[in-house]
Amino acid sequence: MPHNWKQLITYPLGERTIKPREKGVTMVLDKGLGLRELQDLLEVAGDYLDFLKLGFGTSLLYKQELLQAKIKLCQAYQVEIYPGGTLMEIALRQGKYKTYLEQIQKLGFKTIEISDGTITLSTPKREDCIKQAVNTGFRVLSELGKKNLKNIFSPRELWKQGETDLKNGAWKVIIEARESGKGIGIYNHKGEIEETKLKDLLKYYRDHNQIIWEAPLKKQQIALIHKLGPEVNLGNIQPPDLLALEALRTGLRADTLSLNPEICSS
């Protein structure tokens, strides 16, 4: 093996922004990785992972010692780990939001997701939740959209809510797509991008780096990289797909290699 293995071949789509990143962010959905599984993932692909979301309310199901060990392990690799927004929604509905912020901060979390995917939040209440989290010291990711497929929001509505959240202190907004990536957000029931919705959202958001697009399916990741470039922010990536996604981002995979015309035309 050559001594400078990584310098042998230039990435066809160029070098990636290094961590901590403002763009080209990757968020993985963790539905129950054990500590050793997480260690393996971080050893192999920690450089390419920015956020690890503990899906739904699973944070509450871990033994506290294990949860804190996962938090410390992620932070050792410059990965921000955070509880899914569903847990925040439950805490809010039970009148325990302030206590929730205090407790997850004590556990070691530094990022929080604010959402109303299942519950209904008034605009003033959502604003208050974001500001409380920011003032407590959290980085806020704001999720837009509902988990119920019957509740469909227009691109303009998603933009208006997102703009308000960003003004109130959210770092980025997440466009909901759930685990399936089908019939929700910018995707149709086959998991394909609805071009009009995407175009309209991009028209409203002048800086698409403010958005993390949930894209659990490979074809969605490919399409968004083709449309928005390798440094597009992507979320709800499955753990086994993390390294494969980075190959897409860098052009080390046939699906995106075509974005480098010099290689493909020779």
Does residue 266 surpass a pLDDT of 60?
no
Give the predicted TM-score (pTM) of the model: 0.94
Number of domain units in the chain: 1
Does residue 151 surpass a pLDDT of 90?
no
What does the mean pLDDT of the chain come to?
A: 94
- Beta-strand relationship, 26-30 and 51-54: parallel
221 in Cβ contact with 202 (< 8 Å): no
- pLDDT at position 154 is 84
Report the distance separating Cα 57 and Cα 194, nearest Å.
30
- pLDDT at position 117 is 85
Q: Quick one: CA dihedral 40, 44, 49, 55, positive or negative?
A: negative
Residues in contact with 214: Cβ distance below 8 Å, sequence separation at least 6, in sequence order: 174, 175, 176, 177, 178, 181, 185, 234, 235, 236
DSSP string for 127-152: HHHHHHHHHHT-EEEEEES-SSTT--
For residue 132, give the CATH number of its domain: 3.20.20.70
Of the listed ranges 22-26, 62-66, 185-189, the one predicted with least confidence: 185-189
- pLDDT at position 265 is 61
DSSP string for 3-36: TTGGGSS--TT-PPPPSSPSSS-EEEEESS--HH
Provide the domain limits for residue 155: 5-265
- pLDDT at position 146 is 76
pLDDT digit string (tens) for 160-210?
Answer: 999 999 999 999 999 999 989 999 999 999 999 999 999 999 999 989 999
